[in-house]
Structure 1
Amino acid sequence: MAKWTPFPHAGDYSFDAASVKKQWARLHGGDAEPCPKDAAVLDAWALFHNGDFHQANEAGIAAGGAGITVANKATAIYANYLEPKEKTRLDLFTQVAERAAAQAAEEPNNANAWYWHAYALGRYSQGISVAKALAQGLGGKVKDSLEKAIVLSPQHADAHIALGAFHAEVIDKVGSLIGGMTYGAKKDTGLKLFQEALKLNPGSAICMVEYANALVMLEGDKRMKEATELYEKAAATTPVDAMERLDVEMAKTELEE
């Protein structure tokens, strides 16, 4: 396995199993993951929240069970934000999609197995181009897995965000007519999903960023002011862990462009 790029703010977060458990509701307001009973899984989560993504991945796999979710999240977030090589990024997303699919087959009621399957396939699709991914039939898989995740976990804010992004990206690439008829993508549904996600997890920087992106994709210049306000609000939020720090920094980058 190629060496993973370290989290650029190593040492800024110092979670351990006890502090992760104490702040669980705040740390997992996006993914609605149940707090694990297994000490090894909690330790893996502490590594994740500190930005030790490679170690979190390995510890999650070693723990097994609910630890697979830690491994999937650590790998996906690392690939999305920190991996510089495109081929490696795509390989990592493929790895997560395969691991999550196997997890979902074993635990069909595990919402995050379906969510990370969809997230990884969605990011992979963006990497190879959404149009190409749709032609390969990946769009339907992403949509199905996200809808399953929401049915299993209606409070899953991140699944609402990802499904909202699916609707927006499909319409952006193929138009509302083909998007609606072929892929079931609808502008109003997409925007409602983002609004629902913000109700479920009001301080989510990533939700504000993805919502802003969707507004620009779906509505263009007439929603640019609103989108900019969302980027500004996201950039001003205070991150509590490594992943949120990366989300906030992405919002700042969007504002600079």
Structure 2
Amino acid sequence: MNPPPPDPLSLLSSREPDTVGQWTRLPYRDGPRFNAADLHLHWPRLHVGQGLPPPQGPLAEGWALYHSGDFERAAALGLAHAPEGLALANQATAIYANYLEPRESVRQALFKQVAERATAQLASDPDDCQALYWQAYALGRYSQGISVARALAQGLGTKVKGALEHLIELRPQHADAHVALAAFHAEVIDKVGSLVGRMTYGVRADAAVSLFERGLQLNPHSASALIEYARGLLMLHGDSRMPEATRLYERAAHLEPADARERLDVELARAGLID
């Protein structure tokens, strides 16, 4: 007699059983809600510039959960339907860790899980665009947690930059990849300076601005891109660009969020204006 299949939720903590635990719920109850039946109607707006095809079967339910803000169940469902569901699992896990997980050690553990899963995917298919993006995203956020300077010394920056550049070669319309690569340029310059950044890591302030602009051209309704651009300008140029950064935050704060992740970004922008 075969044993019963594992509970999908147990897969979330299989690598870190003693540290991950239950995920924090989305603090809002008035955001957009989605279901599997009509998700395809909203898909183009929800995935502008990513090039991810609408899901079929059980994964449609998983993506509906993700866009409704139920990141834990979405990630579990994605893992239960691996390998097809890994894009969902990685996205739900990374977004949850970035916005909602209050425990730093758990945040880092979750980012490591995403990076490891994506790296394994890329070993089989180096051109997997979703794996390239979530590997870069998770490694980038993990690097911020251990300090960008330390991450650069460990070679993580090279991996992030290489993954994003390869992704943009494969999918020039990927808005999020342009923004992430722009933020990488800005972060490195902020930490090591423009000369060392250019000579050692091939980053430039003008390239960062061009990438931010291209990302917003591809997805002008991205609160996340507006916030990252504002932060990037301050890292590159300091308080002299504060008025422009404030205007970008204001644009983000006044957007109508299309899903739970965008709601988190809009609230983040509003909080930033108060601070």
| TM-score bracket for this pair, using the shorter chain length | over 0.9
**Equivalent residues of 2:132, 2:163 under 8 A apart:** yes
Deviation at 1:219, TM superposition (A): 1.2
Counterparts in 2 of 1:113 and 1:5: CA distance versus 1, 3 Å: same
Deviates more, 1:38-47 or 1:120-129: 38-47
* Structure 1 gap ranges (5+): none
Partner Cα separation in structure 2 for residue 239 and residue 185 of structure 1: 32
**Equivalent residues of 1:73, 1:116 under 8 A apart:** yes
Q: TM-score, normalised by structure 2?
A: 0.91
Deviation at 1:13, TM superposition (A): 2.7
Report the AA paired with residue 26 of structure 1: R
1:182 aligns with 2:228: no
Q: Which structure has the highest helix share of the two?
A: 1
Counterparts in 2 of 1:228 and 1:11: CA distance versus 1, 3 Å: closer
1:89 aligns with 2:88: no
Deviation at 1:256, TM superposition (A): 1.6
2:230 alignment partner, one of 184, 208, 212? 212
Match of 1:245 in 2: 263
Deviates more, 1:169-178 or 1:18-27: 18-27
Match of 2:253 in 1: 235
Deviation at 1:47, TM superposition (A): 0.6
2:168 alignment partner, one of 127, 150, 173? 150
**Corresponding residue pairs, total:** 256
Match of 2:9 in 1: none
Let me know the Cα RMSD of the aligned residues.
Answer: 1.1
Report the AA paired with residue 204 of structure 2: K
Partner Cα separation in structure 1 for residue 90 and residue 175 of structure 2: 18
SS in structure 1 at match of 2:23: coil
Identity of aligned residues (%): 57
Partner Cα separation in structure 2 for residue 153 and residue 253 of structure 1: 33
**Equivalent residues of 2:31, 2:263 under 8 A apart:** no
Runs of 4+ off more than 6 Å? none
Report the AA paired with residue 262 of structure 2: E
Deviates more, 1:194-203 or 1:64-73: 64-73
Give a deviation string over 1:216-242, Cα, whole Å, max 9, x none: 111112211111000000000000110
Partner Cα separation in structure 1 for residue 170 and residue 59 of structure 2: 22
Larger Rg: 2
1:12 alignment partner, one of 31, 45, 49? 31
Match of 2:81 in 1: 63
Give a deviation string over 1:48-87, Cα, whole Å, max 9, x none: 0010000000000112233100000000000000000000
Report the AA paired with residue 68 of structure 1: L
SS in structure 2 at match of 1:17: coil
**Equivalent residues of 1:146, 1:163 under 8 A apart:** yes
Alignment of 1:60-139 (within 5 A): 60-139=78-157
Deviates more, 1:17-26 or 1:184-193: 17-26
**Equivalent residues of 1:110, 1:152 under 8 A apart:** no
Deviates more, 1:101-110 or 1:229-238: 101-110
